[in-house]
Amino acid sequence: MSIPSSPRAVPAAPAVEPEPAPARLDLVALPGLPLIRPGDDLAGLLASAVIAVGGAAPGDVLVLAQKIVSKAEGRYVDLAAVAPSAAAEALAAETDKDARLVEVILRESRRVVRHSRHVLIVEHRCGFVMANAGIDRSNVDPIEGSDPVLLLPEDADASAARLHHALSARLGVPIAVIVSDSFGRPWRNGTVGVALGAAGLPAVRDLRGEPDLYGRPLRVTETGFADEIAAAASLLMGQGAEGRPAVLVRGLAPAGPPRPATDLIRGSTEDLFR
């Protein structure tokens, strides 16, 4: 490859004054949350935990592991009471999964996107393309005589909005909320945090029309803002212990009018991989 022929040519000064990005970001995992049960006042428990770490500041974002939202909403299904359909039985045989679990996954899905042995990737009824419709068997309280699994919230954006309003009211400060989960992804190993629901911030940020350093239009037009925040929070949440399902994020600059997390879901006509 060649280096431009004018060595060390001094670049022209940037054509526009760059907008400063925030200089620091601080994340704190909220301590002291109890194991969440159906019907718990999650906003109340979270507000107390935020106060215990010093309260909220304008611009704060609270990231909540989907699990505690689903638990508070009672989103349990007892597999012991599920009768698998023929379709579920067939798919269970191909994927080497429990047929009752596959039945529940199918009930939560629009369609199957890909499957193979041990892998079942679906389009969730809310639009997310994800493994197993997000249904979780780990970290679900074992109850004698039943086999509970935990579904995703009915509508994670709506859950985020309710919590956003309740927490902002209780804390006296606008506090955005993200409901997060960990997804696998094509082409790359390992799961990363992503946003299922969001309220009080733009889940997708539109940079269209913003210039680069030299005044030329940027080619990347959108960033997955809420996904990046969810990934950051995931670093503090841990995995096996699941002891830290709520993370407060401070320092994000105001990012524009709110947009829900469903805006992060690529339309199937634009998606080359559906």
199-258 binders of a second copy (CB under 8 A): 204-205, 207, 210-214, 216, 218-220, 222-225, 227-229, 231-232, 234-244, 251-252
Site for a second copy in 59-78 (CB under 8 A): 74-78
- Interface with a second copy includes 86 (CB under 8 A)? no
Dihedral angle at the C-alpha atoms of 272, 261, 201, 157, nearest 10 degrees? 170
- Interface with a second copy includes 2 (CB under 8 A)? yes
- Interface with a second copy includes 103 (CB under 8 A)? no
Q: How far is the CB of 42 from a second copy (least distance, A)?
A: 16
Residues 261, 197 contacting (CB under 8 angstroms): yes
What the block records as the tokens of 74 is 């009672």
Cα of 91 vs its chain's centroid, Å: 27
Site for a second copy in 123-162 (CB under 8 A): 128-129, 137-139, 141-146, 148, 151
Residue 71 CB partners (closer than 8 Å, separation 6+): 36, 37, 38, 40, 150
Q: How far is the CB of 203 from a second copy (least distance, A)?
A: 8
- Interface with a second copy includes 194 (CB under 8 A)? yes
Residue 268: phi, psi to the nearest 5? -65, -25
By beta-carbon proximity to a second copy, the closer residue of 24 and 172 is 24
- The CA-atom distances, in angstroms, between 192 and each of 36, 78, 141, 180 are 23, 28, 24, 10
Q: How far is the CB of 159 from a second copy (least distance, A)?
A: 16
By beta-carbon proximity to a second copy, the closer residue of 75 and 164 is 75
